[in-house]
């Protein structure tokens, strides 16, 4: 099954409505979404674009986010940095904001697994479709 995206502007939609083509679309039986896997066909240009432009960006971005999250208390945005801020807030008597910062640190630490999955998917795509680059 090949999936394509079609952009329809308001003028195009009005022209289709006036031409009566929407009645043909309405007569098509409604089907349920396919269950199971769906095959998406990509052209050689699309694969080249993914391999040369998008994939390196995804891998770089995921790597930088993992580095930041796992950084020490001096790395802004890391879980250790958030925990240090929470400790400062708690020392200043602001328990509510300290609790919020600790919860944020826990959520952020949980993102590492997701980012590692994304890096794994990107590496798998690279080995399957991009050749030995």
Confidence of residue 22 (pLDDT cuts 50, 70, 90): very low
Six-digit token string for 23: 């009645």
pTM over 0.75: no
Confidence of residue 125 (pLDDT cuts 50, 70, 90): confident
Six-digit token string for 52: 């040369």
Which of 2-11, 48-57, 58-67 has the highest average model confidence (pLDDT)?
Answer: 58-67
Alpha carbon distance 21, 95 (integer Å): 62
Q: Give yes or no for residue 37 having a pLDDT over 90.
A: no
């Amino acid at each position: 099954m090949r999936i394509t995206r079609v952009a329809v502007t308001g003028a195009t939609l009005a022209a289709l409505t006036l031409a009566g083509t929407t009645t043909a679309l309405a007569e098509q039986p409604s089907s349920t979404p396919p269950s199971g896997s769906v095959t998406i066909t990509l052209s050689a240009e699309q694969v080249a674009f993914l391999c040369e432009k998008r994939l390196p960006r995804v891998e770089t971005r995921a790597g930088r986010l993992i580095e930041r999250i796992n950084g020490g208390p001096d790395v802004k945005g890391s879980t250790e940095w958030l925990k240090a801020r929470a400790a400062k807030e708690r020392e200043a008597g602001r328990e509510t904001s300290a609790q919020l910062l600790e919860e944020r640190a826990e959520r952020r630490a949980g993102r590492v697994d997701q980012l590692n999955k994304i890096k794994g998917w990107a590496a798998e795509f690279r080995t399957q479709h991009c050749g030995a680059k």
